[in-house]
Amino acid sequence: MSPPRSYVIYAPTPWDSQRQPLHGFADGLAVRHRVLYVDPPLSPLSPIRYGFRPSTWPRLRTVLQRRVRTCGNLKVFSPLVLPPIEHPRMRSLSLPLVRAQVARAAASAGLVNPVVVATRGMPGLAGTVHESLCVGMFVDHPSAGATLMGRDADELEAEASAICEASDLLCTTSQSLSELFVERGWPNAMIPAGFPADLADDYERAAKPPEYDSLPRPLLGYTGGVDDRLDYELILRIADRFSHGSLVFVGAISPRLSAEARAALAARSNIHLLGLRPRTQLPGYIRHLDVALLPYKDSLFTRYQSPMKVWEYLCAGPPIVGAGSAELRRYPAPLVHYAETADGAIPLVEQALHDPAGGRDERRRFALANTWEDRANLLDTLVGELLQSRLREPDAGPVDAEPPVPQPASAR
């Protein structure tokens, strides 16, 4: 077991937002190490950027409180910047302010020479916390999310290259993404997503949500962000094929969701948008589905992503039918039933409905054997090895690691 270390994580999404890979790594690392999770910078106008929503008041409190807060086993801090946050000139003026705030937050959290893990901002924040090592973490194709984020693709590619240059260790979360970075000349370690073990008991005893009582079966559903990564033509075809049943979506609707996608979701009476639910309530919404869906469209984004929600689906137990995300091919049936084309998805749903309990125990065992703590331990082991090599060879370059690959529980 490695000695306790300190980690600072420069994250792309706030701690109290929908869970992303950096949340999982932070939780896993915090089991044995001190962790400071640094939210994306907020301006005084950020909480009302998209109008008043359920997240507005908590984010307003964060802006006003201006302190390091304790969340479970780790610390969280939200730096403040000058508005407008998107303006390059204001970002430049805000950088010294952010550096000073993060340095104070790390000191107050008791972090000494921490390891920095970042998907954003690392070059500009280099040296802020007197870090011992920098880990660049990539969870998506560098520029694929430009439209979703309202950013320029070339700017995102430049930021990714800067992170690669500044990193001592590069990590990716999918095989296709790992291969892409190797092709670009950046050796990396592939560490896939994992299951949030703190929710294991919740999935075991999750009650059926009251909304499900009034919905006709079969009950097909998706949990997660509702955005333009989803295949809305496929969703309409599923809704039509199972018009006697219900198709539910549990998650936040992206403010940038296209008008065409919004129209598709409103076009069928058996499509039900239930909205965002607290993380602790999600087990019930997944466990009591007849089939859990991952209906992605093939795109630059989905070709390189590794969907996190598959792990919660696996633990919850219902059959899983996915399409459009190449990484899902790595989970053979009965873990995931993957359709190579949208045309193949509906037959797989029909097949799953004939045997909804088939493979349930294997799916759950696989999830519990691949937790975020396991993934964090892989990352921490690589960090420890690199730190030791630096002690022996101060000028050693970036690590080149064989990527760990998830295997079905039966193969372990």
- The pLDDT tens digits for 11-50 are 998 998 888 999 999 999 999 999 999 999 888 765 555 5
Alpha carbons 299 and 308: distance in angstroms, whole number: 17
Q: Is residue 232 part of a domain?
A: yes
* Together in a domain, 187 and 232: no
Q: Is residue 264 part of a domain?
A: yes
* Together in a domain, 64 and 119: yes
* Per-range mean pLDDT, top range of 143-147, 348-352, 399-403: 348-352
* Together in a domain, 169 and 27: yes
pLDDT tens for each residue of 332-343? 999 999 999 889
Residue pair 322/310 in contact by the 8 Å Cβ criterion: yes
Residues of the chain with pLDDT > 90: what percent? 72
**Model confidence at 82: pLDDT above 60:** yes
Across the chain, mean pLDDT equals 89
* pLDDT at residue 412, as a whole number: 36
* Together in a domain, 240 and 338: yes
Those residues with Cβ within 8 angstroms of residue 216's Cβ, 6 or more apart along the chain or in another chain: 244, 245, 246, 270
* pLDDT at residue 136, as a whole number: 96
DSSP 47: G
* pLDDT at residue 1, as a whole number: 60
Q: Is residue 265 part of a domain?
A: yes
Residue pair 310/321 in contact by the 8 Å Cβ criterion: no
* Together in a domain, 168 and 211: no
* Together in a domain, 226 and 353: yes
Higher pLDDT, 394 or 359: 359
Domain that residue 312 falls in: 199-367
* Together in a domain, 32 and 140: yes
| Token reading at 381 | 């082991």
Q: Is residue 407 part of a domain?
A: no
Which CATH number fits the domain that encloses residue 98? 3.40.50.2000
Q: What are phi and psi of 42, to 5 degrees?
A: -110, 145
* Together in a domain, 189 and 218: no
| Token reading at 232 | 């809305």
Helices 232-241 and 259-266: crossing angle in degrees, nearest 10, is: 10
Closest CA to 25 of 251, 192, 201: 192
| Nearest 10 degrees: Cα torsion 154, 160, 164, 166 | 100
pLDDT tens for each residue of 259-280? 999 999 999 999 999 999 988 8
| pLDDT grade for 145, boundaries at 50, 70 and 90 | confident
Record the pTM: 0.87
* Together in a domain, 148 and 265: no
Residue pair 291/255 in contact by the 8 Å Cβ criterion: no
Q: How many domains does the chain have?
A: 2
pLDDT tens for each residue of 198-244? 999 999 899 999 999 999 999 999 999 999 999 999 999 999 999 99
Q: What are phi and psi of 12, to 5 degrees?
A: -85, -15
* Together in a domain, 361 and 239: yes
* Together in a domain, 205 and 176: no
Q: Is residue 139 part of a domain?
A: yes
* Together in a domain, 183 and 304: no
Q: Is residue 398 part of a domain?
A: no
Write out the DSSP string of 316-351. H-S-EEEES-GGGGGSTTTT-EEESSGGGHHHHHHH
Alpha carbons 216 and 214: distance in angstroms, whole number: 7
- Read off the pLDDT of each residue in 46-66 and give the average, rounded to a whole number: 61
